[in-house]
Structure 1
Amino acid sequence: MSFGFGRRAANWALSHLATVSTVLRRPEIMVFVPAVTLGAYFLGGERALMLVALGAPLVAALAGAFRQVPQGQMTLPDALNGLALRPQIIGVMDRILRDTPITGLTTGCLVVQFDDMGDVVDRYGRIAQTEVLTRCAERLCSALRTGDVVARLEGGGFAVALGPVRRLDLETAVQVSARLQSALTAPISLNGARVYVTTSVGFCLADRAPSATGAALLDAAQVAADDASRNGPGAIRAFAPDMARTRADRDQMRDELEQALDEGQIRAHFQPQISTDTGAVSGFESLARWHHPTRGLIPPAEFLPLIEDCGLSSRLCEVMVFNALSALSQWDKAGFHVPTVAVNFSKSELRAPGLASKLRWELDRFDLAPERLTIEILETVVAETDSDVIVANIAAIAQMGCGVDLDDFGTGHASITSIRRFAVRRLKIDRSFVTRVDEDREQQKIVSAILSMAERLEMETIAEGVETQGEHAMLSQLGCNHVQGYGLARPMAMEETVEWMHRYTQRQTTTPRIGNRTN
């Protein structure tokens, strides 16, 4: 009896000693030193005061209260610290799958990926991203059952292993996925701002996994989540075997695209832009073309979506900028004055940190003035973006002296405020308004309205997709400053542009007009 009591006492002392040690490790414990010291003085006099005053910091230091956490090992918020990691969730699913023949219970895996976390980072920073992930982790855990396991993944998403159940079908998995999405849709309060996030979910049921292992189940759910993200935002996808083949094909395509970019197979073709006032070449637009070694010339509609899908947009942009500036230098040496070359920038490229500095370095490298380079951005980017990084990049590029063209104008519902906000210098009228403008009175009214607005805002205009002499003449009469399209010239390789400009200069005549130009 006494031995049992002594053992219980020892266990009690050890457990409380561990608790005391944990408390002493906290730096906050030092705020109580003055009070403890004062109490010691009243109870034991000056000797006790000196003993406590000198001993308390020493005890706290020995307990590790002042030990610094090395950089890179800072602890995450409790809600993230409490989650499993990839090895743990794989182990959980392995155990369930191993026991399935005996218990008859099964499981499933879901992967939750954020559609717009990049925008959160751009607007609020990395610390805010951690806070958002913390709140989302709490919501996920509260939306699941007790036996379900949530793990955080390396890319910022979450994986969920469903606890053992007797029956799990596609309908149930879709319902669970929708419930998780719903739990994350409510706004998150962040430093007074309301942050909204959307997620895409991919899942795989145990009986549909490539093999009966936790790793295979998680990989399959990840493949489904990647497919959902490409079809998002807010998409839900169930794993299917052809997804794995598609992913393998995509990985192979990425390798092929990287090789094409490195070897110069993907390079710029140039389409001239003509001034309607003088008939002179006022610039070129650079357009990506893939000269495949076996398939020949591949049109951009076939490979540009793959470039975006494989995350190679920034690499393509570097190639296009280099080609454009190299072409300007060659035209200058050949004695042709080409005022500017336009390069298309996607939303992901405009999000790159320090974009303006990189462009300035490239311009200095070719000894060219910033005014010789124009960046084209889609109207949808201006109309929809609220990214501070994109706004800052475009403002810095415009301030540097580069031109900013608003592409496909009339299709993206950009406001006048947003046009001014992005320092747009020229509006590029979408080809849908240019087609048959010489015959269709309604088309003429729309184009006239755009031209009138641009004139009031002191911006230039350029019409794309000009196919006929009649369209060219009508746009000139209406007051459009520049035109481009197949009716003038198709995009051509750099070596063909010099010969084309020789021929164009020799046969250059006054731009066709219908009557006098209207105001």
Structure 2
Amino acid sequence: DRSWGMLLVDVDNLKLVNDTFGHGAGDALIQVVARRMAATMPSEATFRLGGDEFAIILHDGPEPDLAAKAEDILREIKRPAQCDGHVVFPAASVGGAIAEIDETPEQVRHNADVALYHGKERNRGQYTPYHTGLGTALTRRFRAIRDVSVALAQDRIDAHYQPILRLDTREIVGFEALCRMTTAAGEVVSAANFHDATLDAQVASELTERMLSRVAADVRHWLDMGLPFQHVGINLSAADFHAGHLQERLCSAFAAAGIPLKHVIIEVTESVYLGQGDHVVANEIKAMRSRGLRVALDDFGTGFASLTHLLTVPVDIIKIDKSFVDRLVPGDAGAVIIEGLMGITEKLGIRVVAEGIETEMQAEHLRALGCMLGQGYLFHKAVDRHSAAWLLREFGQHYKSDGQAMSRLA
């Protein structure tokens, strides 16, 4: 008859520890987490459910303070540990739910599981409490996962291409490859309509594999046609970085089509670039650049950006987010920030592309500030491969007789 609640604890990055140091280290990590939880919480209320997932049942006071208990657990767990001869920094994600009137224990556990699932995707390494809206979000995500899985099986996922142009000559210097899904009714929808599905690691991996194969085939076709093609940008999600073997997947896809990596740019959003609590993304970016792949920091200025990170994890290109371009009016701070960014990136040898250009005034203002590359509806929306080939033929930046491009993105 007492008020009670449940915490579910899931160890983060166990697969990474297993793959890096071996399963002995992974087993030791689970044991370390178990001992530290048992030392922090009442041992009779702490359970291992299986694998790397634990449960804690709390019923102290009129209503258990799940958030405070979760913080105690996370603080205790994250101390460095010796695991089978290796130093590991343990981390975990926690989801929690309070038992409401008339809720069964099974429902409380389900609610805590929903919170944990949401936290693993959005707030890894932290505590996520359950609330009613999370169940709705999870249902929406599962529906998106189902729709995308069916679309992949029925070959309704394809690549479309938005041109990147020089703002002075309006010549096309490259494309950004964008994922598009054709619905069962025949409507072509953008990735924003099924973004929730990309939070699932398996679906994200399958989408990336499909995009890599389609883009590689299209680039090979354009090169064989003798079109003035320079490069294509491909977007990667956080799940792509954590799935493992990312470099090999990228390089083998283009090597199989006989495409040099100089034609490929990897686009990573700020939320992926700086939003993870570990070094997986940073290490992968460094490794990809060492292999000759160029990396663009997408949606720059929307949240996590810090220019100091460009010193430790350099990129080749910065793409200014549309929210800055929209504010390009005399006296606005957005213009001052872009002008300052142009000076900094020029000294660092980083190229800049402005996204979301919709008016001639914006294009001219960007040119005046020193930004020479852009994309947006003013020039063209994303088009299919056949229209992209036509755009290259008509507006692609041609080469001088000495074989050098008039102006390159990088």
**TM-score (normalised: structure 2):** 0.80
Structure 2 CA distance, aligned partners of 1:443 and 1:142?
Answer: 52
- Larger Cα Rg: Structure 1 or Structure 2? 1
Q: Residues 247 and 183 (structure 1 numbering): CA distance in 2 closer, same or farther, change over 3 Å?
A: closer
Q: Are 1:136 and 1:184, in contact at CA under 8 Å, matched by a contact in 2? A: no
Alignment match, 2:406: none
The residue number in structure 2 matching 1:148 is 45
Q: Which residue is equivalent to 2:53?
A: 157
Stretch of structure 1 that moved more, 224-233 or 480-489: 224-233
- Find the partner of 2:96 among 187, 199, 202: 202
Give the root-mean-square deviation of aligned CA atoms: 3.6
What's 2:343 paired with? 452
The yes-or-no answer on 1:111 pairing with 2:8 is: yes
Choose between structure 1 and 2: higher strand proportion. Answer: 2
| Mapping of residues 270-349 of structure 1, within 5 Å | 270-276=161-167, 278-294=169-185, 296-309=187-200, 311-349=202-240
**1:184 counterpart = 2:78:** no
Q: Verify the 8 A CA contact 1:407 1:430 in the aligned structure 2.
A: yes
What residue identity is the alignment partner of 1:286? Answer: A
Matched, 1:463 2:327: no
* 1:352 positional shift: 3.4
Structure 1 residues 373 and 230, CA, compared in 2 at 3 Å: closer, same or farther?
A: closer
Q: Which residues in structure 2 correspond to 1:12-51 (within 5 Å)? A: none
Separation of aligned partners in 1, 2:261 and 2:153: 26
- Cα deviation, residue 299, structure 1: 3.2
Q: CA, structure 1 residues 452+149, in 2 after alignment: closer, same or farther (shift >3 Å)?
A: closer
Q: What is the Cα deviation at residue 327 of structure 1? A: 1.8
Instruction: Name the CA distance, whole Å, in 1 between partners of 2:336 and 2:111.
Output: 54
3-state SS of 1:150 partner? strand
One-letter amino acid matched to 2:359 = T
Note the C-alpha offset of 1:147: 4.2
How far residue 427 of structure 1 moved from its aligned partner, in angstroms, is: 1.6
Q: Which structure's relative contact order is higher, taking Cα pairs within 8 Å and 6+ residues apart? A: 2
Shift of the 278–402 alpha-carbon distance from structure 1 to 2, 3 Å rule, reads farther
Give matches, 1:48-197, under 5 Å: 109-114=6-11, 129-145=26-42, 147-154=44-51, 156-161=52-57, 172=63, 174-176=64-66, 178-186=68-76, 187-191=78-82, 195=89, 197=91
* Alpha-carbon distance in 1 for matches of 2:147, 2:265: 29
Provide closer, same or farther for how the CA distance between residues 143 and 272 of structure 1 changes in structure 2, counting only shifts above 3 A: same
8 Å Cα contact 2:163/2:172 also seen in 1: yes
C-alpha distance in structure 2 between counterparts of 1:147 and 1:372, whole Å: 59
* Structure 2, gaps ≥5 residues long: 398-410
Aligned to 1:26: none
In structure 2, the residue matched to 1:99 is none
Q: Distance in 2 between matches of 1:491 and 1:371?
A: 22
Q: Which amino acid aligns with 2:69?
A: R
Q: Which residue of structure 1 aligns with residue 403 of structure 2?
A: none
CA distance in 1, matches of 2:204, 2:237: 8
The aligned amino acid for 2:50 is: L
Aligned equivalent of 2:364:
473
The count of corresponding residues between Structure 1 and Structure 2 is 392
| Structure 1: 5+ residue stretches without partners | 1-103, 163-167, 507-519
Q: Deviations over 1:97-130 (max 9, x none)?
A: xxxxxxx799865422346667777887765554
Deviations 1:204-255 (A, max 9, x none): 6496456xxx767655543453345456453444586x97787566445423
C-alpha spacing 1:193/1:384, structure 2 compared with 1 (3 Å): farther
**Shift of residue 351, structure 1, vs aligned partner:** 2.9
- Of 246, 253, 273, 1:355 maps to 246
Instruction: Name the stretch that deviates more: 354-363 or 376-385.
Output: 376-385
Say which structure is richer in helix: 1
TM-score normalised by L of structure 1: 0.65
Cα contact 1:404–1:425 (8 A) shared by 2 = yes
Work out the percentage of aligned pairs sharing the same amino acid: 24
What is the one-letter code of the residue matched to 2:94? S
